């Protein structure tokens, strides 16, 4: 049973154009029949795209916006001049309670700035983070921050841990997800000041978090812990390095399987299995960066993705809105604030 | 034609014991018949291992050391109490000109500290870096720093660029390798202060370096540039994330190929191709972190590797000593110092 929700969509953010976005919504209506859509963008274009999809059109309201955000615009620019863009209006609908969540495939920095400005940051959060679901040997893990911030101090890393843990409980359905801090070694003395201080806080403060200590880069794919916490610079580079490596291995595999007649016959016989592998590695299946720490649900889809990728990001956004992750984060952060302030008073 | 060289080896550094090290040397004598070995470690153990290998024994001098460095020892500890260890003596032989290069599979931090102390750091180098060869779609690239330092300022990143470029010229045989700075986006405004300032220096200073600007995590496996420069925290996490991802993809592939009878038959027919893939992805083939910026050649082999992996690291060390990378680095760094100081005087 799916509960009625309204999704607010920046239709003009995708590199591939609004056609991909509308095709993704058409997919989504099958999976989520009760969901309604608020579509922001060029009305003439969107009406023509909806013309061929009567079922989708019936649950979609188009709101015309004359402008859109360019990929090379700076967040400070779009905050000043971006009020008439499809991205601004998509987030505004969540702020106005016209929609439960917003999604865009546009400029990440602009989307974060607009979301912070319009929705506000939760109490106890210094900076929001972007979280992704990462495929592992054991299933999926949550990794954050993958690029909202360039750096993070110890307090921010602890906030990311709290937010990521609440997200993992809700989305992965785990009762007590384990949390690790990404570092260059598992020993206590390794790493920079921020990760060591964050580990001390997570160990000493009496939070209801299953802290697994430091983890290394290869622990992410192993699934050693359910939530991996890092700063946005390292997290972004780790994520893209993993994407590049997966593509490289598939490239090597494809080259090897073309080399001889025997290999080509083998590949043909194993084509079903190889298709399963491709599906497992399909970046579209795990598409979507969730903004955590905002007073509202905002999801960033990859700009270069197709309808299937956009639909995956949308699925995750709907799951997050339904699971009511934000109230959980608010409760956990307020517990963190109480514990740290009472411990500070006691010492 | 191979020129006579002497390699100094810490025989006690491998997790798998000195047997692996001696087996690796036996392999190496086939490929490098003119190379001689200085083997540091427990004499009784090493003599017994050499007993069955007369050819290797004939070109190997065993130097007894009563102690070895433990994996959990801090660099500061081993500098104080480590003079009787096999690792210390292995590096000392290079300092004394008894050998052209040293190799160890032991504690990385201890090896770097001992190497800096005994060999000294090249003029113009603030901190040495650890470089690795990384498999890409186009061949191999050099990535540094993968863990010598926890952070790097702009000046250090520029030094890494100079050292990595000289290394790539020598080892990859490229006339003008391209150099990129690892960042979270390709735009000029992205990234932290250090990478942006380093990019400014690499762009403005008239160095003979083909600077390709910022690259992202997925550019490493693409082979977009030949040398990727980053700080040791990010580089270490990127390297281990890539290793973990490659293992994950192979795990998915193996699981998929076992699923059905057809897939198993296909896999059997394609077994030659799958073996090629395994060889391409074999971490032992690209084993070895090269210490750059020291007045001597020191290579760290992975502690958990086998004889083949240790032999790969040894091959790279021999290549580096033969290619006379250090004089090239010295010349390039002195050019950098002259340019930056004359430009500072002019402005």
Chain B residues inside the 8 Å CB shell of A231:
none
Asked if A307 and A176 sit in the same domain, the reply is no
Of A73-87, A109-123, A264-278, B29-43, the least confident: A264-278
**What CATH number is attached to the domain comprising A242?**
3.40.718.10
Given a cut of 90, is residue A83 above it in pLDDT? Answer: yes
In 3D, which of B331, B296, B334, B338 has the Cα closest to residue B102? B296
More confident residue, A173 or A230: A230
Q: Which residue of A has its CA nearest to B264?
A: A270
Asked if B177 and B274 sit in the same domain, the reply is yes
Q: Which residue of B has its CA nearest to A258?
A: B273
Residue B329 in any domain: the answer is: no
Q: How many domains does chain B have?
A: 2
Given a cut of 90, is residue A339 above it in pLDDT? Answer: no
Contact, A39 vs A11, CB < 8 A?
yes
The pLDDT assigned to A3 comes to 58
Q: Average model confidence (pLDDT) for chain A?
A: 91
Please classify residue B198 by burial: count the beta carbons closer than 10 Å to its beta carbon, then call 0-12 exposed, 13-18 middle and 19+ buried: buried
Contact, A49 vs A125, CB < 8 A?
no
Residue B285 in any domain: the answer is: yes
> pLDDT tens for residues B142-186?
999 999 888 899 999 999 999 999 999 988 989 999 999 999 987
Q: Shortest CB distance from B217 goes to which of A192, A244, A252? A: A244
Asked if A172 and A244 sit in the same domain, the reply is yes
Asked if B42 and B94 sit in the same domain, the reply is yes
Name the β-bridge partners of B101.
B7, B297
Among B290, B309, B339, the domain-final residue is: B290
The pLDDT assigned to B3 comes to 58
Asked if A266 and A146 sit in the same domain, the reply is yes
The segments of chain B whose pLDDT lies below 50 read 1-2
Residue B343 in any domain: the answer is: no
The pLDDT assigned to B223 comes to 96
Residue B342 in any domain: the answer is: no
Q: Which residue of A has its CA nearest to B194?
A: A150
Asked if B228 and B196 sit in the same domain, the reply is yes
Asked if A58 and A131 sit in the same domain, the reply is no
Residue B17 in any domain: the answer is: yes
Minimal Cα–Cα distance from A58 to chain B, Å? 40
pTM for this prediction: 0.92
The pLDDT assigned to B167 comes to 94
At A120, list the tokens. 């506000």
Asked if A88 and A192 sit in the same domain, the reply is no
Contacts of residue A62, defined as CB under 8 A and 6 or more positions apart, other chains included, come to A39, A41, A43, A46, A47, A50
Residue A275 in any domain: the answer is: yes
Q: Shortest CB distance from B269 goes to which of A216, A236, A269? A: A269
Contact, A291 vs A115, CB < 8 A?
yes
Say what the ipTM of the complex is.
Answer: 0.90
Contacts of residue B227, defined as CB under 8 A and 6 or more positions apart, other chains included, come to B141, B142, B143, B144, B161, B164, B165, B167, B168, B177, B178, B179, B180
Q: How far apart are CA B307 and CA B314, in angstroms?
A: 10
Q: Which residue of A has its CA nearest to B260?
A: A273
Residue B94 in any domain: the answer is: yes
Given a cut of 70, is residue A54 above it in pLDDT? Answer: yes
In 3D, which of A182, A184, A178 has the Cα closest to residue A211? A178
Dihedral sign for Cα A68, A74, A77, A78, please. Answer: positive
Domain carrying residue A284: 126-289
Asked if B52 and B166 sit in the same domain, the reply is no
Q: Shortest CB distance from B280 goes to which of A151, A242, A252? A: A252
Contact, B339 vs B142, CB < 8 A?
no
Given a cut of 50, is residue A84 above it in pLDDT? Answer: yes
Among A239, A268, A289, the domain-final residue is: A289
Asked if B231 and B162 sit in the same domain, the reply is yes
> pLDDT tens for residues A31-45?
999 999 999 999 999
Q: Which of residues 10-69 of B touch A (CB under 8 A)?
A: none
The pLDDT assigned to A345 comes to 73
Q: Shortest CB distance from B220 goes to which of A72, A244, A266? A: A244
Contact, B297 vs B94, CB < 8 A?
yes
Asked if B157 and B81 sit in the same domain, the reply is no
pLDDT band at A347 (very low <50, low <70, confident <90, very high): low
Q: Shortest CB distance from A277 goes to which of B242, B256, B274? A: B256
> pLDDT tens for residues A264-314?
888 888 888 888 877 777 777 778 899 999 999 999 998 888 888 999 999
Among B271, B290, B309, the domain-final residue is: B290
HEC profile for B92-146?
Answer: HHHHCCCCCEEEECCCHHHHHHHHHHHHCECCCCCCCEEEEEEEECCEEEEEECC
Binary contact (A137, B270; C-beta < 8 A): no
Contact, A319 vs A2, CB < 8 A?
no
Given a cut of 90, is residue A72 above it in pLDDT? Answer: no
Q: How far apart are CA A188 and CA A195, in angstroms?
A: 10
Dihedral sign for Cα B134, B316, B65, B88, please. Answer: negative
Q: Which residue of A has its CA nearest to B270?
A: A263
Q: Which of residues 171-230 of B touch A (CB under 8 A)?
A: 182-184, 187, 189, 191-192, 216-222, 230
Contact, B230 vs B194, CB < 8 A?
no
Q: Shortest CB distance from A237 goes to which of B184, B221, B243? A: B184
Binary contact (A221, B184; C-beta < 8 A): no
CA angle B107, B147, B20 (to 5 degrees): 35
Residue B44 in any domain: the answer is: yes
Asked if B283 and B145 sit in the same domain, the reply is yes
Contact, A160 vs A154, CB < 8 A?
no
Minimal Cα–Cα distance from A231 to chain B, Å? 10
Q: Which of residues 96-155 of B touch A (CB under 8 A)?
A: 135-137, 147, 150-151
Given a cut of 60, is residue A2 above it in pLDDT? Answer: no
The pLDDT assigned to B347 comes to 64
Q: How far apart are CA B91 and CA B95, in angstroms?
A: 7
Check CB contact of B233 with chain A, cutoff 8 Å. yes
Check CB contact of B272 with chain A, cutoff 8 Å. yes
């Amino acid at each position: 049973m799916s509960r009625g929700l309204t999704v607010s969509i920046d239709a003009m953010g995708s590199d591939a154009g609004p056609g991909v976005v509308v095709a993704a919504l058409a997919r989504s209506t099958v999976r989520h029949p009760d969901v309604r859509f608020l579509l922001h963008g060029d009305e003439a274009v969107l009406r023509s795209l909806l013309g061929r999809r009567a079922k989708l059109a019936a649950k979609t309201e188009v709101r015309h916006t004359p402008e859109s955000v360019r990929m090379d615009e700076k967040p400070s620019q779009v905050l000043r001049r971006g009020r008439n863009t499809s991205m601004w209006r998509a987030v505004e609908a969540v702020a106005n309670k016209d929609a439960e969540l917003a999604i865009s495939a546009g400029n990440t920095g602009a989307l974060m700035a607009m979301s912070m400005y319009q929705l506000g940051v939760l109490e106890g959060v210094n900076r929001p983070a972007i979280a992704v679901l990462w495929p592992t040997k054991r299933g999926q893990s949550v990794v954050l921050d993958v690029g909202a911030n360039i750096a993070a101090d110890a307090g921010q890393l602890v906030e990311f841990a709290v937010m990521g843990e609440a997200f993992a409980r809700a989305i992965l359905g785990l009762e007590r997800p384990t949390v690790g801090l990404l570092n260059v070694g598992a020993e206590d003395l390794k790493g920079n000041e921020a990760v060591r201080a964050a580990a001390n806080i997570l160990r000493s403060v009496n939070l209801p978090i299953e802290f697994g200590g430091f983890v290394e880069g290869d622990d992410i794919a192993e699934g050693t812990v359910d939530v991996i916490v890092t700063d946005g610079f390292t997290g972004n580079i780790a994520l893209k390095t993993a994407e590049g490596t997966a593509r490289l291995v598939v490239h090597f595999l494809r080259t090897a399987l073309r080399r001889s007649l025997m290999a080509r016959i083998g590949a043909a016989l194993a084509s079903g299995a190889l298709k399963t592998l491709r599906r497992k590695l399909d970046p579209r299946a795990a598409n979507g960066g969730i903004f955590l720490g905002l007073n509202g649900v905002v999801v960033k889809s990859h700009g270069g993705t197709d309808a299937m990728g956009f639909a995956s990001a949308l699925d995750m956004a709907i799951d997050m809105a339904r699971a009511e992750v934000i109230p959980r984060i608010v409760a956990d952060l307020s517990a963190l604030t109480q514990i740290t302030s009472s411990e500070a008073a006691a010492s």
